[in-house]
Chains A and B, each alone.
Chain A
Amino acid sequence: MTQTTVHSYVQEFEDLLRTRGAEPAWLTPLRRAALSRFSELGFPQRNQEEWRFTDVRPIAEQTFLPAGAVTSVPDRLLECPLGALPFPRLVFVNGRFSPELSRCEGIPAPVRVGSLADALRVDPAPLERHLARYASFEQHPFVALNTACFADGGFVHIPRNTQVETPILLAFIAVPGVEPVVMHPRSLVLVEENAQCTLIEAYFTVPEAQGVYLTNAATEVMVADRAIVDHYKVAHEAHSAYHMHTLQVELQRSAQFSSHNLTFGSAIVRNDHNARFHAEDAECTLNGLYIARDNQLVDNHTAIDHAVPHCNSHELYKGILDGRGHGVFNGKIFVRKDAQKTDAKQTNQVLLLSPQATINTKPQLEIFADDVRCTHGATVGPLETESLFYLRSRGISQQEAQNILIRAFAEDIIDRIRPEALREAVHATLAAVLPQSAHTETIPFRPGTVQNS
């Protein structure tokens, strides 16, 4: 079954290669290598450690057609909290750039912001050294598939010494149809020496979308010496959607990168957010908030590679699991030989709201240097009964009390979002997914039970 779908992707690739316009000569061999790697790897199996808790059979067994160009976009798409963000933006509908919906006012002139496909057509030279050089497709079949098949995505190039004050929004909108479709958005962000920018990747769909689709995205970010990048990713795809995203960040000397990864469930979500330090004195923050309900599965994998000394990394992931929601977290920190004076901190906190919810968490440290400070912590638990009691004793309903506590739990991450409009949009999105009254019974209130430790 999965073999035939692997084959159908190979077929799709050959078609794409024929129909796609001229591409730089260096790209085709890369695509071919990635495709052959994908055919070798096949879809991940549960017996592979990296995919132990994430069953991708629904994706592997489904035949997806390449998402077609969409001519008209429903207005309400741009009215939802994420669509209405007042920032300069590049809009991609079903993985294709939409010049009509995009607008780039307010971005200083030397900055290049546009479609990756256009950049490859018009001036591919600056991309050659970077595109598909960071996100390795050797081990990750979905990255391999993306590299082979991507059609378009964002290309952001901030030249040296340039500070872009306004956040730049990359909006990936899915308009699913009757047939299951697949899109492979691919973005490349190059931030040169001493430059600074804020980047928002938003993956969302029309709120009532029903169709099945797969977003298989990959983003590569290169942060040069002393550059500062503030990155946000918000995914609020359809219930029936599958979302795979790999973010690969490369940090040079004294670079600073921070990322906030906000996932509001879909059928299966898998994020691989990886950062690698190439020179000393750099700093990386990977934070995340994820919510899974119903039968959703949210899998966050992070890997921070301390390949050089004197770098710091911080990581805080918080999960809210309700219904039959299934959360998976795997945070890896590698401290290579000689990466002395590393300071790495990782925390994973999970709130379980329902008896059917499941969490598999695995914070993982691999340390080969001695003069380091590395800690990780993980906690899993329900809402505090004392806190609930406190609120209820003040006349707040059970559901409202729960929501207050859930929002407080989430606020720890949301509060760190710097652009105010984005923070508000995330608040609105969270409010929309929080149970209104459906789950009142999930946590029976037991004033008698006091946690004894």
Chain B
Amino acid sequence: MSATANTVIEEFAAREYQWGFETPIEAITLPRGLNEDIIRQLSAIKQEPDWLLQWRLDAYRRWLTMQEPTWPNIRYEKPDFQDIIYYAAPRPKKALNSLDEVDPELLRTFEKLGISLEEQKRLAGVAVDAVFDSVSIATTFKETLAEQGIIFCSFSEAVRDHPELVRQYLGSVVPPSDNFYAALNSAVFSDGSFVYIPKGVRCPMELSTYFRINARETGQFERTLIIADAGAYVSYLEGCTAPMRDENQLHAAVVELVALDDATIKYSTVQNWYPGDPKTGKGGIYNFVTKRGKCLGRRSKITWTQVETGSAITWKYPSCLLIGDDSVGEFYSVALTNHYQQADTGTKMIHIGRNTRSTIVSKGISAGFGQNTYRGLVRINPGAENARNYSQCDSLLLGDKCGAHTFPYIEVKNPTARVEHEASTSRIGEDQIFYCNQRGLSTEDAVNMIVNGFCKEVFRELPMEFAVEAQKLLGVSLEGSVG
């Protein structure tokens, strides 16, 4: 590696989090800590029906009996669950009818992130449900969607307006007892998004929500539930950036997807939360998320696409339960760890129905002191005749102080199944850089190009708007850190 290349690497590796700023807004907060009273208060603030309160309390009691998982390949200081504020909301002034009534401070925050609601509103095609801390402050395009019978609202609104749907599906994919953080989320989730696409409707636009963790020391517990009824199609985008801060913040979200007969759900994520101090690894978000989709109907399809560039620690396995015959699960992932970031991410594909198919494409990039782990499970149950899986997980190492790990579990209990798994680990070759230099590309551009090429299979799966943002993020987080 030439001296110039090394300089470029150092520059990029040293690049700091660009989106770190904080919006000073007064917040209503519950006292620190967690007990049944806090949950009751939280439920009361949100004016929830009794069944939901009981559901939360049940989850809380289960959570008390559970242990924090120790199997992920990550090292971190365990969060103190009594030192977290479980609810914070921007102080409500009055009911909001238009963007003009939104706190201008908030709007400026979004503008800095390059996702101005004003602009978004005019750029038809993306409806934004912006979740600022824990309460939805603005929902656009609601009317357009409502015409088609599509429900796209905050979780609290869904509980109020469509309790029968929420009650039927809440916890049906990720039961509260599923894991430690899912139980915690079930007990204290504050808000999130709810989507219902009626029978045979193709959602005319990409649905999108923009998460942003703001008020200091506020754990954020989002809950997302998406239901695609028979023959429906929806593409859902989730993107996040968070401001800079010192203390670790816990984010334990739960996402549940349900696809009925012939339905398709495409769920895309770009995650760029604060990764911690680049020099010490201090601070940064703990991203412990449970995401799972249930292909309940025949010929249903769920696609997860994720670009994970932020967070100090990522612990996340978007999974598919392929229950319906001929259902399809897909997982496309780019996970990047730079500086002191750690990621333990992957997917689970559980083949239950006949002729079910799944594809896994995972690209891990490690730089600096980053540790990147792919952990995946492909399980073919005895009844899954002719199931088919193809998995590919590739790792790119930039620098000699980072690590890449793969833990793919493959369990097959049906002899007609075909399962293939491939994995490789490599780095950017000096010859590749030289080839590009020779053709007049700077080392920086060359690395950018090669990394983007490495991730292309995944970016191709992202909706256009996100693909652009993803490439930019990858550039910011890494570009050029070749060792």
Contact = CB atoms under 8 A, between A and B. Distances in A.
Interface of A: 49, 337-338, 340, 350, 352-382, 442-443, 449, 451, 453
Interface string B384-410: 001010100001011111111111111
Contacts of B410: 359-362, 378, 380
A381 B423 contact: no
9 contacts: A49-B71, A354-B415, A362-B409, A365-B406, A366-B403, A366-B405, A367-B425, A375-B423, A379-B419
Contacts of B399: 370
A378 B411 CA distance: 11
B421 interface: yes
B419 A377 contact: no
Q: Interface size for chain B: under 10, 10 to 19, 20 to 34, or 35 or more residues?
A: 35 or more
B425 A377 contact: no
Nearest to B426: A373
B27 to A, nearest CB: 42
Contact of B409 (A358, A360, A443): A360
Question: B-side binding surface: helix, strand, loop or mixed?
Answer: strand
B415 A382 contact: yes
Contact of B421 (A354, A356, A363, A442): A363
A352 B417 CA distance: 9
Q: Closest 3 A-B residue pairs measured CB to CB?
A: A370-B397, A352-B415, A378-B421
Contact of A371 (B388, B417, B420, B427): B427
A362 B415 contact: no
Given A337-B401, A453-B388, A364 B427 contact: no
A381 B419 CA distance: 6
Given A366-B403, A367-B425, A380 B416 contact: no
B400 A369 contact: yes
A372 B407 CA distance: 18
B402 A370 contact: yes
A362 B408 contact: yes
Contact of B412 (A358, A362, A367): A358
Contacts of A449: 386
B405 A377 contact: no
Given A367-B404, A378-B419, A358 B411 contact: yes
B411 A360 contact: yes
A443 B408 CA distance: 28
B424 interface: yes
Contacts of B398: 370
Contacts of A453: 357, 388, 390, 418
Contacts of A376: 406, 421-423
Q: Most B CB atoms within 10 A — which of A359, A364, A380, A451? A: A380
A338 to B, nearest CB: 7
Given A375-B422, A378-B421, A453-B388, A370 B483 contact: yes
B460 interface: no
A366 B403 CA distance: 7
Given A377-B421, A378-B420, A379-B420, A337 B405 contact: no
A101 to B, nearest CB: 42
B413 A358 contact: yes
B171 interface: no
A377 B422 CA distance: 4
Contacts of A356: 382, 413
B414 interface: yes
A429 to B, nearest CB: 24
A367 B395 contact: yes
A413 B145 CA distance: 61
Interface string B424-439: 1111000000000000
Given A357-B415, A371-B427, A380-B412, A363 B420 contact: no
A365 B404 contact: yes
Given A359-B411, A371-B400, A377-B421, 19 more contacts: A353-B415, A359-B410, A359-B412, A364-B407, A365-B423, A367-B395, A368-B403, A370-B397, A370-B402, A370-B427, A372-B427, A373-B426, A375-B425, A378-B408, A378-B410, A379-B418, A381-B419, A443-B415, A451-B418
Contacts of B411: 358-361
